[in-house]
Structures are given as C-alpha cells and as structure tokens.
Amino acid sequence: MLSSRFKSAASPWRAMAAEMIRRLGSRVSVSAFSTSYSRATSYSIIADFRSDTLTQPTDEMFTIMRNASRGDDVYEEDDAVRALEAHVATLTGHEAGLFCASGTMTNQLAFRASLLTPPASILCDSRSHVYRYEAGGLASHSNATVYPVQAITNRGHHLTVQDLEREFVTDDGDVHMAPTRLISLENTLNGTVMPLQDVQAIRQFSQERNVRLHLDGARIWNATVAQGCDLKDFTSQFDSVSLCVSKGIGAPIGSVLVGDKDLIKKSRHFRKMFGGGWRQAGGLAAVVHWCIDHVWPTMKKTHALTKQLAEGLEREARGAKIYIPAETNMVFLDLAGSGIRLGELSSRLELEKGIKIGNRYTLENQTQVRLVLHWQITKQAVDGFIEVVKDMALKAASRPNDVPHTATSKSAVYGIPKRFS
C-alpha cells in the first residue's frame, strides 16, 4: 500500500519532466534536468518570430543578476531598482519612475492613478492594447469606460486630432455621457510609428481640452529608433508613459512607468493594492539597465532585418501582401492569393530551419500572420525564412488550381490583426 503510494507520487514528477522537455523541445537537452530544481544548461535560441517578448535571457544577464543589489523594493531600499527608475525618468524627461512586473500593470496603474472619480472615459485607438488586450482592466480597476476611436483621417495608419475631436466627450453636464478625462496613445501600434509632429498636435489638443495624455509606449524604443530622434522628444509630450522592457529591449521581465512625483507616488500605492509590490527585484532592474545600454543600440539592425524580410516575402511569394507597413520590427503577412498555406509554411519553417511563427490562435484557417523580429533573430534566420517561402511559392505556381484561400480581411484601411503582446 505504502510503496504503491510512493510509486504514484513519483510518476507525476516524471510526467511533469516529460512535459517540460516536450515543451522546451530542442532548446534543452534531457541531461539538463538533474534534481527537482534544475535549469537548462544547454540551450540554443530558436529563431522565434512569434513575438519580441520571446527573447531569452543570456548567461551574461544571469551574471548581472547575481551581482546586483538585494534590497527590498517595497521598503524602497534596493539600489538597482532606484537607479533604474531614476535612469528611465531621466531618459524620458520625467520626474520619477516605477519599475513593475508588466506593461499591463504600468498602463493600468497610470489610468488608476489618473482617473480618480467616475464617471470618466478615455479615448484611444480602437486597435489599442489598453482597450482590447488588458482583460477589461480599465473598467474593473478604474471604473472608466472607453470610447474607441477609428483612425480614419490617415486611412488607419495612426490617430490624429481630427479623429479624437470626433469622439471627444465634453464635460458639459450631459448625464448620459462619461466625460473624456484622458487620451491614451500607443506608439508603435502594430509596428507603425505615430510621427512626432502628430504627437505634438495631440499634446496641444489635450492641453486645450484639459485632459491627461498617456502613452502606451510598450515599443516607444522602436518608434524612437525609426524616427531617429531622442526618446525624450516623444515621451516628454505625455503626462504618463509606460515603457515595456521585456520586448524590444530584451530584458526577461518588466515595464517602467514614468510621470510626475505625485503620479508615481499614487501608482506605487495602487501597485501594492493590486498585489504588485515586489521585494528583492534588484536583479531584474540591473538586467534592464544593462539591456537599455546594450540591446537598444542593436535595434536599428533589427529594423533593417525586418525590412529585408518584408521585401523578400513580397518578392518571392507572388500574390502575398504585407498589409501593414513594416516600419519597425513587425511584418504583417497575408498569404491569400499566393497559394501558400500558412499551416504548411509554419511546419516547414520549424522543421527545416528551427523557425517559429504564429501561434495556436492564429494558424488555423488563417492566411494572415504577424512576424516579429528582435535582437536574437539573425540574418541567417531571415535568409532561411525567405528560402523556404521561395521554394513553396515555386511549388504553388506549378499547381495553380490548388489555391484554397480567400483573404481574412480585405479592408482598405488596416484591419484589426490578431495579436496579444
């Protein structure tokens, strides 16, 4: 009885280890697992085009974590966290910063600290992350509603003052409405850049209307590199900015919120209330600092590779379309009309080149896929990708009747592609 119990206690472990190995695939050798807490000792970075969140921390990053300060951040006693917050505040032209676990948290904290009394509403692009992909957090945390705005004047490229004017709710005593208290912009949005002059115009508009202006700058790093301007040029236009560091910057975890001292003080309080106060976070902060200094400068190269991929795909897969301009690190590819099936492309890329694209949400019955580049994507991976597409396009051309696709979306303006982070 006892021994059989022990046996069944051991088998879930074995099953778990097998499942971990299955999930990690070729990245981890079986021998990497020794006792219950083991780490990957040998891994190779798979060319993962699914998201720029999928960069892997390097050995060098673990060395930095090991050497970092080990104070308690809830006590505000960790040197690396305080240094990072001050550094990002300086880079962005703001008074103070708050290092948090995720971009969703830094967006939600900014809203919660800015929108103190209902009824209130915010205006944002109808495709924006804060509206679509934050699990309805704005309604739940801040008791606010969203009036989503269509980017009509630029045929979907980015919002303008004219678009915002259309939806703006003046606080004129109409009891049916939730007055606009905040405008939230996203830059980049689907990899496209809202130019600085349009940001400046919206800044002026928000000041005239006396509403706050927030930037979901998950990828503002990329926008800045693409525009060739200073980070501050963009970020100083806003009352609050959320900057993800787990994407283009390549850090394992985190996002920084910047704003004035009062906003950051309130956000720190709400962060604790949300359960996001963290203790010895110095290792993470130190890595972020290193990544800003070392990974950010490689972004220009990543953007050049992105352009190479977009051009290569359009050239080789005749009939395929890049349906959102590849201005930074993303390529939105529609294979409809090319005769290439997305599912087949995905498996060939993985099998032949170790390249991953799409995910379980996007691949089935779809012709469109978002490809995201980051600092660990190499030129060989991009070349290999184009090679596979070229081969598939040649085969597709030799069987012209086998074209199963209709476009998922034929909208003249940029539609709402599926993407989550």
Ligand X SMILES: *Cc1c(COP(=O)(O)O)cnc(C)c1O
Q: Does 357 bind ligand X (CB under 6 A)?
A: no
# of chain residues touching ligand X (CB under 6 A): 12
Q: What is the DSSP string of 59-78?
A: HHHHHHHHTS----TTTT--
* Helix, strand, coil fractions of the chain, as percent rounded to 5: 45, 15, 40
C-alpha count within 13 angstroms, C-beta hemisphere, residue 244? 24
Complex with ligand X: residue 107 or 114, whichever CB lies closer: 107
Stretch that binds ligand X, among 35-43, 101-109, 204-212, 337-345 (CB under 6 A): 101-109
> Binding to ligand X (CB under 6 A): which residues in 234-263?
244, 246, 255
Complex with ligand X: residue 71 or 417, whichever CB lies closer: 417
Q: Does 216 bind ligand X (CB under 6 A)?
A: yes
- What's the CA angle centered on 341, arms 338 and 342, to 5 degrees? 110
Give the shortest CB-27-to-ligand X separation in angstroms.
21
Which whole-number Å values give the CA distances from 387 to 150, 315, 348, 349, 393, in the listed order?
38, 11, 11, 10, 10
Give the shortest CB-187-to-ligand X separation in angstroms.
9
Q: Does 112 bind ligand X (CB under 6 A)?
A: no
Instruction: Name residue 382's amino acid.
Output: V
Q: Does 129 bind ligand X (CB under 6 A)?
A: yes
- Which residue among 151, 178, 218, 264 contacts ligand X (CB under 6 A)? 218
Residue 200 parent element (H or E): helix 196-208
The burial of 192, by beta-carbon neighbours within 10 Å (0-12 exposed, 13-18 middle, 19 or more buried), is given as buried
Site string for ligand X, 173-212 (x = CB under 6 A): -------------x--------------------------
Complex with ligand X: residue 338 or 362, whichever CB lies closer: 362
Give the shortest CB-255-to-ligand X separation in angstroms.
5
Extract the tokens encoding 193: 């850049």
C-alpha count within 13 angstroms, C-beta hemisphere, residue 205? 23
Complex with ligand X: residue 238 or 340, whichever CB lies closer: 238
Q: Does 104 bind ligand X (CB under 6 A)?
A: yes
Q: CA nearest 202: which of 168, 258, 160, 262?
A: 160
Q: Which residues bind ligand X (CB under 6 A)?
A: 102-104, 107, 129, 186, 216, 218, 244, 246, 255, 421
